[in-house]
A = this chain, B = another copy of it.
Amino acid sequence: MALQNDSLIRALLKQPVNRTPVWMMRQAGRYLPEYRKVRAQAGSFMNLCTNPELACEVTLQPLERFDFDAAILFSDILTIPDAMGLGLSFVEGEGPRFARPIASATDVKQLPIPDPTIELQYVTDAVSLIRRELGGRVPLIGFSGSPWTLATYMVEGGSSKTFKKVKALMYEQPQLMHQLLEKITRSVELYLNAQIAAGAQVIMLFDTWGGVLSTEAYQAFSLDYAKQIVANLETESSDQRVPTVLFSKGGGQWLELMAGAGFDGLGLDWQTDIGQARARVGNRVALQGNMDPMVLYASPEVITDEVKRVLDKFGREPGHVFNLGHGVLPDINPEHVKAMVDAVHKYSRVP
């Protein structure tokens, strides 16, 4: 079935579009009252992730309200370590926790590589269901956390401010760290290929914590594994090419390195100037971003001005996907999101 709106895919492949496509990180989420209702019904966040019908429902919710040019699978980046048996739970207000974090060479050795068609079938089922329910309106984005980002949670046992356990491991036992990252990398490859097989039409790799590394460590412990993943994705096998996007939050200094990693697009955080970014990477890759999510606290007039500024900086040539520089915050007024989406379409339209 042909897509009715393929502007996201076209933009990521640097093809001309009638108007700049826009979607939003965490667009299916807590800022929507209809999401909070389903979340309450599910009982827990993981119940919501692991129930394909409910995951499908919340994935589609933002498309009912806003003129987004993509849906993104509702899931969590920590499904893989959970499937590896680390025992994921979410403590209200404190974020994710693993009951059995990685602490030793034995832990790494014993870590299984999950079969996504078994341990993560709830994800591929959700992908298939969402594709069916979308009916070709807009493309569906599948995703995974990057190996480095997953490793931070797996070693720290949850969120961290300093990343001291995972960095101590990296600096003190680099070979063991690489063994861990290789296992995660293989798991991510299988997982993303399963999402593509189930119908994901765009793939995002979220390297949320790449930016806490030194330049050298970023290359060796994050980017090299992202490269390996994108090289092993089956992006050509379906009827339509599946574009890929890498987002290393805090990685604005490394765009030149990232542009050569094999992804079609790069996500930009809001700290990076998108005009300067484009000047640096040329048209080697598409760019996705990058309004400061905090702008959405301001009035629709301010939001519209900021949207124009981002569009102007990029320059309205092929290869731009509008997004926030990070996920939308839970207390944002949905009307402000509407103001952003509508401004992107209005001011980017080719006459």
* A294 beta carbon closer than 8 Å to chain B: yes
Inter-subunit contact A297/B250 (CB<8 Å): no
A213 interface residue (CB < 8 Å to B): yes
Number of chain copies forming the complex: 2
Q: Which residues of B contact A171 (CB under 8 A)?
A: 292, 294-295, 297-298, 302, 306
Q: Check A250 against B250 for contact (C-beta < 8 Å).
A: yes
Chain B's closest residue to A163 (CB) is B294
Cα–Cα, bound, A152→B271 (Å): 17
Output the residue of A172, A295, A297 with the most chain B CB within 10 A. A297
The binding surface of chain A is classed by DSSP as helix
Q: A171-B298, A253-B253 are in contact. List 8 more A-B contacts (CB 8 A).
A: A164-B294, A167-B294, A167-B295, A167-B297, A168-B294, A214-B270, A252-B253, A253-B271
Residue A262 lies at the interface, judged by CB distance under 8 Å to chain B: no
- Complex: how many Å from CA A169 to CA B126? 40
Least CB distance from A177 to B in Å reads 12
A161's nearest neighbour on chain B, judged by CB, is B161
A interface residues (Cβ-Cβ under 8 A, vs B) = 162-164, 167-168, 171-172, 211-218, 250, 252-253, 270-273, 276, 292, 294-295, 297-299, 302, 306, 309, 325, 329
Q: Bound state CA distance, A329 and B164, in angstroms?
A: 10
Within 8 Å by CB of A276, from B213, B215, B299, lies B215
